[in-house]
């Protein structure tokens, strides 16, 4: 055997070894977690953290330490349990586990400032079931003796103090660092708007053209990040708005109406009216096809789902009504609404004229120019909504009840009472708008379809297993905005016979009208008999405009004029539970370890020193034994 | 379980080995080389045996519990045999090395004897085995939690540390025994090493009944220690003399 042959065999062997190693490494990459880690920790999957939001002057929300906060779990079911946590318990710090009902301001104030508490977790009692972990099952000893159950929460936020500070730091990072680490992001998204008669968005409309703006908000908020069901505060309103838009588009002579109607869905209204303030700013700066002077009147739908004995209250602005030209226009507006409510199961009543407006997007427009307008709401003075901007503002809050035993497909078709009530409001709104826009026909034919409103509410269920949330967030085009955009296009647009290429690239086809419309390619619904879908092209007037506060455009981060809300960035948000051992056991382990170390060092030294004595009998003969 | 447990377990598992290394290996460069090469040989044996087990596991149904347990037992068996095979290979390598050292030396004597090599090789095997047993546990011991939420024993870290300590000692003594058996053609010594290794590894299947694994392992460790001591030229008389602080009867020179 020559050396070359041996070498060849050796390298082949090395290659297979290398391949085997690679296979091992790749294989191991697919296993989760270390098996010891799995013995110790149970990660909590369905959690919603509380994050930090900042504005021009303050910060709100929650923060944890860099490496998480650990505490012994203590379930607080009644107020007496708090005493254990705050004074009596022998193993601080504690992680308080609260039932949803107890999560109130009074309780939080009691816990504030205590050094015996390292964190708080709220278990949402309804509607979703408990997260699947029950401390009683896994945690031994009832929480009195070691080992005790503990929880660790990681939610370290990078931004501090206020928006001015965090934006300044972010801009320094972006300007000077090769690997910028930004610390916060402005809350921004898109507004959805559509006009009844198509307009050319690349130029402004004529100064004599008049537009009636109908507005609703589409977002909400709660204490916990991305938990914002907003059923009464946002969803019911925009669903009603969509139904009214659909009803109006069905009327035959809408293209001939003297005035146009603009259906606007504002995003970010919860945070100091991001969407509406941006639209007003764009209108003032001439960046929007419609100017403030073109606005004839304004109709806003505030919370409308919880009408008490079918009364809908009409709110107007007392300040602008002092203006002599505005006052009669407001009266016309209110009369049109009251006329439209004849025959429908809606009673419109005006609130006291000296009462100011409830929180609404209309106020942003009034700041810029006095415009006649009304805000429709289901409350006269204080809100009917007991869960305004809370995680409990869900379908149950607006009394959406399905009879027992319906399958999910059947619930899609079932018309709830809530849907019917919203459809009535939509009918009234649609008829009033028709009148205001100068329509002269019979309005009794305009009817909003209650099925529209239910389909909206249930389409959301199709978006995923969980309820969709309506938080504006910092990533653009959240689900809600897209949903509103596509549903509006579906309801108010027409199907045109374009191919996919023409639909997606309308500027390529020679079509004089293409500047007025937006084309959307829909994949179509699934045929129940087959698995393929029939796609089509929808022509509509639905547009998106940026909803980011002008404060960030103008770089006025401390602005008091515009919204300055930002959301902090973070690296890692998670929670896990595990057992903790007593301090005594830990100290014993350490002491035993040190003792063994010292003992073995001494013993080895001794043996080494006496080696010639210990190993001296050379019964074997020959070489040195030791 | 925090720093206290981390350091406690590290000292328990690696304290004696640290002492041995510090006083007997670190001063002599040859011994360091033999230590590290021994560790490497053990590592390769582990790699090959774990490869075999990994392939067997991936090729089988992961839901079948008895099968997986059976595969694990087979894996342990195969690993023990492969480790001893590598010990034999290392012995062969060191034998060749001695010839080289003799050729290079000035006085025709190797600067290190095969018995010393046996001890250092065994220690190298033990250290690498201990490292692989203990390091990932120590990494998790640093976190705030302890084992137990799924029902395992709380003493997991402590008993693992003691088991690691005993394995390091056992590997050292097995090294001495095995090389002695190879040198003097006493095959039964090698068989005894393999046999005790199988018993100790098999006894770990008694866990979490830690009495079933730790007690036999420690007993076997003392037995092997005594045997290795005798083979290295010790006897009870020397032991007593060293304890009384006397010099040996013969002057401290290599025996003839």
Q: Across the interface, do A34 and B116 touch by the CB < 8 Å criterion?
A: no
**Total length of chain A:** 626
Average pLDDT over residues A15-23: 48
Domain residue ranges of chain A, discontinuous segments joined by +: 3-39+591-614, 53-165+572-580, 188-493+541-548, 494-539
Cβ atoms within 10 Å of A350's Cβ, excluding its own = 17
The region, left, alpha or beta by phi > 0 then psi within -120 to 50, assigned to residue B148 is: left
Predicted pLDDT of residue A622:
35
Q: Which fold has domain A188-493+541-548?
A: Aminopeptidase (3.40.630)
Please answer whether residues B189 and B245 qualify as being in contact, where contact means their C-beta atoms are separated by less than 8 angstroms: no
Q: Across the interface, do A614 and B136 touch by the CB < 8 Å criterion?
A: no
Average pLDDT over residues A268-288: 94
ipTM of the complex: 0.92
Asked if the model's pLDDT at residue A459 lies above 60, the reply is no
Burial class of residue A92 in the structure, from the number of CB atoms within 10 Å of its CB (0-12 exposed, 13-18 middle, 19+ buried): middle
Please answer whether residues B31 and B116 qualify as being in contact, where contact means their C-beta atoms are separated by less than 8 angstroms: yes
Residue B105, chain A, CB below 8 Å: the answer is no
Average pLDDT over residues A99-123: 89
Asked if the model's pLDDT at residue A8 lies above 70, the reply is no
Contacts 24+ apart (CB under 8 A), A523-532: none
d(CA A420, CA A236): 12
Which residue do the tokens 């004029």 mark? Answer: A561
Rg (CA), chain B: 20
DSSP state of A233: I
In total, the C-beta contacts within 8 angstroms joining chain A to chain B are 184
Residue A115 Cα distances to A95, A108, A118, A146, A544, angstroms: 11, 14, 7, 21, 49
Predicted pLDDT of residue A412:
64
pLDDT in tens, A47-73: 889 999 999 999 999 999 999 999 999
Three-class SS state of A522: strand
Distance between A235 CA and the closest CA of chain B, angstroms:
42
d(CA B121, CA B37): 8
With a CB cutoff of 8 Å and minimum separation 6, the contacts of B8 are A586, A588, A589, A590, A591, A592, A593, A594, B158, B161
Contacts of A20 in chain B (CB under 8 A): 51
Cβ atoms within 10 Å of A291's Cβ, excluding its own = 17
d(CA A134, CA A117): 21
Predicted pLDDT of residue A526:
64
Residue A512 Cα distances to A224, A290, A503, angstroms: 49, 21, 15
DSSP state of A446: -
| pLDDT over 90 percentage in chain A | 44
A347-350 vs A373-377, strand pairing mode = unpaired
Find out whether the peptide bond into B61 is cis, omega within 30 degrees of 0: no
Average pLDDT over residues A124-129: 56
Candidates A63, A36, A71; CA nearest to A151 is: A71
Predicted pLDDT of residue A180:
92
Q: Across the interface, do B252 and A616 touch by the CB < 8 Å criterion?
A: yes
| pLDDT over 70 percentage in chain B | 95
Which token pair is B65? 């519990």
Asked if the model's pLDDT at residue A462 lies above 70, the reply is no
Find out whether the peptide bond into A287 is cis, omega within 30 degrees of 0: no
Instruction: Find the angle CA(A447)-CA(A450)-CA(A455) to the nearest 5 degrees.
Output: 135
Find out whether the peptide bond into A127 is cis, omega within 30 degrees of 0: yes
d(CA A116, CA A226): 29
Instruction: Find the angle CA(A452)-CA(A547)-CA(A358) to the nearest 5 degrees.
Output: 70
Residue B15, chain A, CB below 8 Å: the answer is yes
Residue A547 Cα distances to A152, A265, A295, A481, angstroms: 37, 11, 20, 11
d(CA A156, CA A62): 9
pLDDT in tens, B46-90: 999 999 999 999 998 888 889 999 999 999 999 999 999 999 999
Q: Please provide the DSSP assignment of B118-172 as one string.
A: HHHHHHHHHHHHHHHHHHHHHHHHTSS-BS-TTS--TTHHHHHHHHHHHHHHHHH
Residue A73, chain B, CB below 8 Å: the answer is no
d(CA A121, CA A118): 10
Three-class SS state of A127: coil
Q: Which residue has the higher pLDDT, A79 or B78?
A: B78
With a CB cutoff of 8 Å and minimum separation 6, the contacts of A200 are A289, A515, A516
Cβ under 8 Å to A: B residues 161-220: 161, 165
Candidates B4, B146, B9; CA nearest to A148 is: B146
Find out whether the peptide bond into B208 is cis, omega within 30 degrees of 0: yes
Residue A463, chain B, CB below 8 Å: the answer is no
Q: Which residue has the higher pLDDT, A307 or B139?
A: B139
pLDDT in tens, A482-497: 888 988 888 888 888 8
Residue A14, chain B, CB below 8 Å: the answer is no
Residue B198 Cα distances to B80, B118, B172, angstroms: 7, 20, 16
Asked if the model's pLDDT at residue A338 lies above 80, the reply is yes
Distance between A488 CA and the closest CA of chain B, angstroms:
50
d(CA A260, CA B205): 81
| A39: closest chain B residue by CA | B147
Candidates A372, A311, A371, A298; CA nearest to A338 is: A311
Predicted pLDDT of residue A47:
87
d(CA A466, CA A29): 31
What is the pLDDT of chain A when averaged over all its residues?
83
Please answer whether residues B114 and B95 qualify as being in contact, where contact means their C-beta atoms are separated by less than 8 angstroms: yes
d(CA A348, CA A340): 10
Residue A505, chain B, CB below 8 Å: the answer is no
Which residue do the tokens 């602008």 mark? Answer: A320
Asked if the model's pLDDT at residue A527 lies above 70, the reply is no
Distance between B194 CA and the closest CA of chain A, angstroms:
24
Best interface-test mutation with B: which of A17, A27, A36 has the largest number of B CBs within 10 A?
Answer: A36
**First-to-last C-alpha distance (Å) of chain A:** 41
A169-178, B35-44, B57-66: which has the minimum mean pLDDT? B57-66
Residue A414, chain B, CB below 8 Å: the answer is no
Cβ atoms within 10 Å of A190's Cβ, excluding its own = 24
pLDDT in tens, A553-570: 999 999 999 999 999 999
Asked if the model's pLDDT at residue B15 lies above 80, the reply is yes
Residue B74, chain A, CB below 8 Å: the answer is no
Q: Across the interface, do A21 and B47 touch by the CB < 8 Å criterion?
A: yes
Q: Across the interface, do B10 and A593 touch by the CB < 8 Å criterion?
A: yes
Q: Across the interface, do A147 and B145 touch by the CB < 8 Å criterion?
A: no
Please answer whether residues B30 and B112 qualify as being in contact, where contact means their C-beta atoms are separated by less than 8 angstroms: yes
Three-class SS state of B191: helix
Asked if the model's pLDDT at residue B42 lies above 60, the reply is yes
Which helix (H) or strand (E) is A395 found in, with range?
Answer: none
Which helix (H) or strand (E) is A568 found in, with range?
Answer: strand A566-568
Predicted pLDDT of residue A142:
63
DSSP state of A445: G
Which token pair is A137? 């099952």
Residue B64, chain A, CB below 8 Å: the answer is no
Predicted pLDDT of residue B223:
96
- Evaluated on CA atoms A160, A163, A168, A169, the torsion sign reads positive
Please answer whether residues A419 and A454 qualify as being in contact, where contact means their C-beta atoms are separated by less than 8 angstroms: yes
A311-316 vs A347-350, strand pairing mode = parallel
d(CA B31, CA B36): 9
Q: Which residue has the higher pLDDT, A467 or B188?
A: B188
Considering only the beta carbons, identify the residue of B1, B22, B149 that sits closest to A138: B149
Contacts of A152 in chain B (CB under 8 A): 144-145
Candidates A444, A542, A452, A539; CA nearest to A493 is: A539
**First-to-last C-alpha distance (Å) of chain B:** 56
Residue A18, chain B, CB below 8 Å: the answer is no
A148-157 vs A69-76, strand pairing mode = antiparallel
Which token pair is A159? 């931004």
d(CA A11, CA A17): 10
Average pLDDT over residues A350-377: 93
Predicted pLDDT of residue A1:
39
DSSP state of A529: S
| Per-residue confidence band for B222, with pLDDT thresholds at 50, 70 and 90 | very high
Considering only the beta carbons, identify the residue of A37, A149, A604 that sits closest to B23: A604
Best interface-test mutation with A: which of B135, B136, B144, B246 has the largest number of A CBs within 10 A?
Answer: B144
């Amino acid at each position: 055997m020559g050396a070359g042959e041996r070498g060849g065999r050796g390298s082949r062997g090395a290659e297979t070894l290398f391949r085997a190693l690679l296979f091992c490494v790749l294989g191991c990459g697919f296993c989760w977690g270390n098996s010891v880690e799995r013995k110790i920790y149970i990660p909590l999957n369905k959690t919603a953290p509380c994050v930090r939001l900042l504005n021009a002057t303050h910060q709100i929300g929650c923060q944890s330490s860099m490496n998480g906060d650990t505490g012994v779990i203590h379930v607080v079911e009644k107020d007496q349990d708090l005493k254990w946590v705050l004074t009596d318990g022998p193993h601080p710090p504690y992680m308080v586990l609260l039932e949803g009902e107890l999560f109130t301001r009074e309780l939080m104030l009691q816990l504030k400032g205590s050094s015996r508490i390292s964190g708080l977790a709220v278990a949402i009692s309804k509607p979703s079931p408990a997260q699947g972990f029950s401390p009683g099952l896994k945690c031994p000893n009832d929480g009195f003796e070691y080992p005790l159950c503990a929880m660790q929460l990681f939610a370290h936020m990078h931004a501090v103090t206020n928006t001015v500070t965090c934006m300044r730091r972010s801009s320094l990072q972006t300007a000077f660092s090769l690997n910028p680490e930004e610390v916060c992001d402005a809350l921004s998204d898109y507004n959805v708007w559509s006009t009844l008669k198509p307009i050319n968005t690349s130029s402004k409309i004529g100064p004599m053209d008049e537009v009636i703006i109908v507005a609703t908000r589409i977002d909400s908020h709660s204490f916990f990040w991305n938990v914002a069901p907003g059923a009464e505060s946002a969803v019911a309103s925009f669903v009603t708005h969509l139904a009214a838009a659909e009803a109006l588009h069905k009327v035959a002579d809408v293209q001939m109406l003297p005035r146009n109607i603009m259906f606007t869905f504002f995003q970010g209204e919860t945070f100091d009216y991001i969407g509406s303030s941006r639209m007003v700013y764009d209108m003032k700066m001439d960046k929007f096809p419609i100017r403030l002077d073109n606005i004839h009147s304004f109709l806003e739908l505030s919370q409308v789902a919880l009408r008490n004995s079918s009364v809908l209250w009409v709110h107007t602005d007392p300040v602008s009504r002092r203006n002599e030209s505005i006052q009669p226009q407001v009266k016309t507006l209110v009369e049109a609404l009251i006329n439209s409510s004849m025959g429908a199961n809606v009673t419109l009543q005006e609130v006291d004229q000296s009462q100011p407006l409830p929180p609404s997007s209309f106020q942003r427009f009034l700041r810029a120019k006095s415009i006649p307008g009304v805000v429709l709401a289901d409350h006269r003075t204080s809100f009917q909504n007991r869960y305004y901007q809370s995680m409990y503002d869900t379908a149950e809050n607006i009394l959406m009840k399905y009879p027992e035993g319906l399958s999910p497909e059947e619930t899609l078709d079932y018309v709830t009472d809530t849907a019917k009530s919203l459809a009535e409001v939509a009918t009234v709104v649609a008829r009033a708008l028709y009148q205001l826009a100068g329509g002269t026909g019979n309005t009794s034919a305009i009817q909003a379809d209650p099925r529209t409103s239910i389909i909206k509410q249930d389409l959301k269920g199709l978006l995923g297993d969980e309820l969709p949330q309506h938080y504006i967030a910092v990533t653009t085009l959240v689900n809600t905005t897209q949903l509103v955009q596509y549903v509006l296009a579906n309801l108010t647009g027409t199907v045109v016979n374009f191919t996919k290429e023409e639909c997606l690239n309308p500027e390529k086809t020679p079509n004089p009208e293409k500047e007025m419309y937006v084309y959307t390619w829909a994949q179509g619904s699934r045929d129940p008999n087959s698995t393929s879908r029939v796609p089509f092209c929808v022509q509509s007037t639905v547009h998106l405009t940026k909803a980011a506060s002008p404060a960030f455009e103008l770089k006025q981060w401390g602005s008091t004029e515009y919204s300055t809300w930002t959301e902090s960035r973070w690296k890692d948000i998670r929670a896990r539970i595990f057992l903790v051992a007593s301090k005594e056991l830990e100290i014993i382990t350490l002491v035993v370890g040190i003792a063994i170390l010292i003992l073995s060092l001494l013993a080895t030294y001794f043996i080494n020193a006496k080696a010639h004595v210990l190993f001296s009998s050379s019964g074997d003969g020959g070489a040195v034994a030791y | 379980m925090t720093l206290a447990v981390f350091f406690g377990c590290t000292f328990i598992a690696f304290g004696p080995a640290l002492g041995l290394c510090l006083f007997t290996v670190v001063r002599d460069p040859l011994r360091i080389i033999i230590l590290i090469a021994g560790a490497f040989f053990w590592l390769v044996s582990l790699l090959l045996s774990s490869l075999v087990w990994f392939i067997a596991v991936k090729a089988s149904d992961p839901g079948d519990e008895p099968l997986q347990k059976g595969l694990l037992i087979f894996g342990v068996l195969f690993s023990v045999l492969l480790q001893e095979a590598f010990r034999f290979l290392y012995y062969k390598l060191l034998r060749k090395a001695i010839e080289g050292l003799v050729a290079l030396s000035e006085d025709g004597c190797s600067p290190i004897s095969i018995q010393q090599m046996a001890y250092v090789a065994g220690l190298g095997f033990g250290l690498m085995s201990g490292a692989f047993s203990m390091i990932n546990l120590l990494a998790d011991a640093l976190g705030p939690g302890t084992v137990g939420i799924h029902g395992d024993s709380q003493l997991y870290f402590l008993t693992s540390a003691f088991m690691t300590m005993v394995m390091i000692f056992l590997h050292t003594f097995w090294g001495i025994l095995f090389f002695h058996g190879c040198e003097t053609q006493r095959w039964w010594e090698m068989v005894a090493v393999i046999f005790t290794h199988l018993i100790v590894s098999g006894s770990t299947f008694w866990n979490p009944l830690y009495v079933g694994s730790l007690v036999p392992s420690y007993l076997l460790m003392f037995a092997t220690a005594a045997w290795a001591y005798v083979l290295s030229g010790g006897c009870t008389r020397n032991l007593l003399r060293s304890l009384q602080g006397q010099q040996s009867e013969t002057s401290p020179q290599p025996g003839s």
